[in-house]
Amino acid sequence: MDSMDFLNDDNDDDTNAYKLFGGKEGIVFIIDVTKDMFTSDGHHFSLARQCVENVMKNKAIANPSDESALIFMGTDKTDNELAFEHIVVDHKLQKPSVDLILGIRELTEEVFETRFGHNGRYSLADVFMIAISEFTKSKSHFATKRVILMTCCANPYSDNTTESRHLRSTAISRAKDFKDHNIDVELIPIGDQAFDTEVFYESVFPHLKDDKSDNNMVKLDQLMSRVYSKNHTQRILASLPFRFGSTTGPDGKSTDVQMTVYVYSLCLETKKPTAIRVDRNDNKPVVAQTQRWTADVGASVTSDELHKKYNFGAENILMNKSELKTGKQMEDSSITLLPKFGSLRCADRKKVVICRLTLRKSSPPHLVALLPQREDTSKGKPGGFQVIYLPFKEEVRHLAVDGAKNLDVKPEAIELAKNVVEKLTFAFDAKDFENPVLQTHWQLAKNVVEKLTFAFDAKDFENPVLQTHWRTIEALALNEADVEPYDEPRTQPDYKHIETEAGYDMYSLNTMLGAYNVEPTVKPVTLYTEEQMRDKCKQNKIGSLTVAELKAFCNHNNISVPNNVKKADLIQLVAHFYTNK
């Protein structure tokens, strides 16, 4: 029987009612493995393999539900369900795993040549058909579908033979099916040589004609970069009816005026993922099950038979599971305008809307203010209202300051304090900070040296705990000897610059206020008498005493205490002291 505040118990199924706004992604990698990709100086295949490995490792951390497949074109071996020659499907669409990543890592140039070989007599149209079939045969539903083609050959059918012309035309025809299946195709040229898409691939993928920028290296860098953070997809926190109040209909009955609104979370703390218990023998997940029995007869007790206690005054109210759930449902989930229909032009009139918010049926109502926010497409800000939680009357504390002692502060100290505040204050507005790339870390450091104010963006500073966590997990999973080091960004204040700007004023202020003459306070240790300690032992409360209190008692009663003694040993010494008396 548990004692709890049932109004704040959110262990209800409704708390998990999140609606995914987006979905997972499916990626099919197609790598050209002809002889040209295995040149002695280029190592093009190693670069393409490393791209696939990095993407899969990123997915394992950022989007573990995404799936990927890998296809090799131009092999001597044939291994695919459609039996198309010189094409190997290394693995079908599936979620990233340690075995897949290790399998890709083991595919060195020597291992690949021994296992698969090379043969350039493949059909690009057959490759496209296999890639499309990976999506059509998959049981997963993908919000986005991508095919990434990596090759160093700008024109695989350069000779003007009848067979080459046929393969060229069939590839162009088959590539149109990508659009019919809503599949995006990206071409990643591999190698330092110039890659002319006009020769062949612009005919296969017409969208390449509109992309004349030199962004091939940018795409390659994105595939090669490592990400050690979760990718947060936009989620709808709740879908609620927004009630403006009641009106009287033609029949004389009251009718609520309402519309459906969506609630989103503007800021969410990133935490470590919950640990999963696994069997030590086979690493399979295990599920913990709790079984309860009565203490008197040992009868089995179900969860519906359990009661929870709620203290109301001097009475204990017992509730079962169904009663507890009903008691929490004060009203339907909604956001209600108070006290009557308000103006819709809040931003123009500089007004806020006061409402009562019930996010879920099991949640207590809250008093909130709706702060209007204008749409700003340049900064990616949608139009709508920000929900600001307001306190109820009982939640406002009234601090009594009548008996507080006034400090006698000299006017010179006030002026010095003002100088310190003015020199160390900068205008901060979260709406003014953009999202710079990672290279802006160096620019931020330069700005700190030049002046005390700098453009701060939370996206530039990673969480060292999470970064170390993901690197350690990856090293353990992949059996790596060393953990990839993490260089923690400099997020500490620039104390040297602060000392230069306001050091003298801060020193003078502290000297005038006597800050350097204050002695540190030490919490006194309670010294228990023999009678008090005997009562603690009889009541079995000696474990609640601190180590310092136990040591003080032992020293006062001439009990020998060894060095580096533990609390359990001190308790034994005290008990032995009373036993021998």
For the domain that residue 332 is a member of, what is the CATH number? 2.40.290
CATH number at residue 480: 1.10.1600
Kindly report whether the peptide bond that precedes residue 339 is cis, defined as omega within 30 degrees of 0.
Answer: yes
- Which secondary structure element, helix H or strand E, spans residue 82, and what is its range? none
CB 457 within 8 A of CB 435: yes
Residues 574 and 540 occupy one common structural domain: yes
Residue 339 has pLDDT above 70, yes or no: no
CA distance 247 to 337: 13
Mean pLDDT score, 366-390: 82
Mean pLDDT score, 28-39: 91
Residues 158 and 273 occupy one common structural domain: no
- For β-strands 334-338 and 25-32, DSSP reports them as unpaired
Give the pLDDT of residue 170: 95
Residues 11 and 61 occupy one common structural domain: no
Residues 178 and 309 occupy one common structural domain: no
Give the pLDDT of residue 7: 41
Domain boundary among 155, 190, 224: 224
- Structure confidence by residue, pLDDT tens digits, 38-90: 876 657 898 899 989 989 988 888 888 899 999 999 999 999 999 999 999 99
Three-state SS for 109? helix
Residue 498 has pLDDT above 60, yes or no: yes
Kindly report whether the peptide bond that precedes residue 189 is cis, defined as omega within 30 degrees of 0.
Answer: no
CB 77 within 8 A of CB 116: yes
Residue 9 has pLDDT above 50, yes or no: no
CA distance 195 to 150: 12
Lowest mean pLDDT among 31-45, 148-162, 166-180, 214-228: 214-228
Alpha-carbon radius of gyration of the chain: 34
- For β-strands 300-301 and 308-312, DSSP reports them as unpaired
Residues 83 and 3 occupy one common structural domain: no
- Structure confidence by residue, pLDDT tens digits, 521-530: 667 788 888 8
Residue 484 has pLDDT above 80, yes or no: no
Q: ∠ CA 157-159-164 to the nearest 5 degrees?
A: 50
Residue 507 has pLDDT above 90, yes or no: no
- Structure confidence by residue, pLDDT tens digits, 206-232: 988 876 555 555 566 766 665 555 555
Exposure of 479 by Cβ count < 10 A (0-12 exposed, 13-18 middle, 19+ buried)?
Answer: exposed
Question: Which of 46-50, 68-72, 297-301, 492-496 has the highest mean predicted lDDT (pLDDT)?
Answer: 68-72
pTM equals: 0.53
Residues 312 and 294 occupy one common structural domain: yes
Which of 12, 46, 329, 405 is CA-nearest to residue 190?
46
* Residue 523 in domain: no
Residues 349 and 485 occupy one common structural domain: no
Residues 310 and 344 occupy one common structural domain: yes
Lowest mean pLDDT among 242-251, 439-448, 455-464, 476-485: 439-448
Kindly give the residue spans of alpha helices, DSSP state H, lying in 488-566: 495-512, 530-538, 547-556
Residues 137 and 169 occupy one common structural domain: yes
Please state the φ and ψ torsions of residue 94, each to the nearest 5 degrees. Answer: -160, 165
CA distance 466 to 477: 16
Mean pLDDT score, 264-281: 77
DSSP secondary structure code for residue 40 in this structure? T
Give the pLDDT of residue 380: 66
Indicate which residue of 19, 271, 272, 496 is catalytic. Answer: 19
Give the pLDDT of residue 524: 76
Give the pLDDT of residue 556: 85
Per the prediction, the chain carries an average pLDDT of 78
Residue with tokens 């033979």: 161
Mean pLDDT score, 254-271: 75
* Residue 489 in domain: yes
Residues 200 and 315 occupy one common structural domain: no
Kindly give the residue spans of alpha helices, DSSP state H, lying in 225-369: 321-328, 346-349
Q: ∠ CA 209-213-215 to the nearest 5 degrees?
A: 115
Task: Tell me the torsion sign for CA atoms 126, 129, 131, 134.
Answer: negative
Residue 181 has pLDDT above 50, yes or no: yes
Greater confidence (228 vs 172) lies with 172
Residues 475 and 511 occupy one common structural domain: yes
Q: Which residue segment(s) compose the domain that 498 sits in? A: 411-517
Give the pLDDT of residue 19: 36
* Residue 406 in domain: no
Residues 211 and 305 occupy one common structural domain: no
Greater confidence (555 vs 173) lies with 173
DSSP secondary structure code for residue 285 in this structure? B
CB 460 within 8 A of CB 488: no
* Residue 404 in domain: no
* Domains of the chain: total: 4
* Residue 405 in domain: no
Give the pLDDT of residue 487: 60
Greater confidence (213 vs 480) lies with 480
Three-state SS for 578? helix
Give the pLDDT of residue 205: 92
Catalytic: 179? no
CA distance 130 to 81: 8
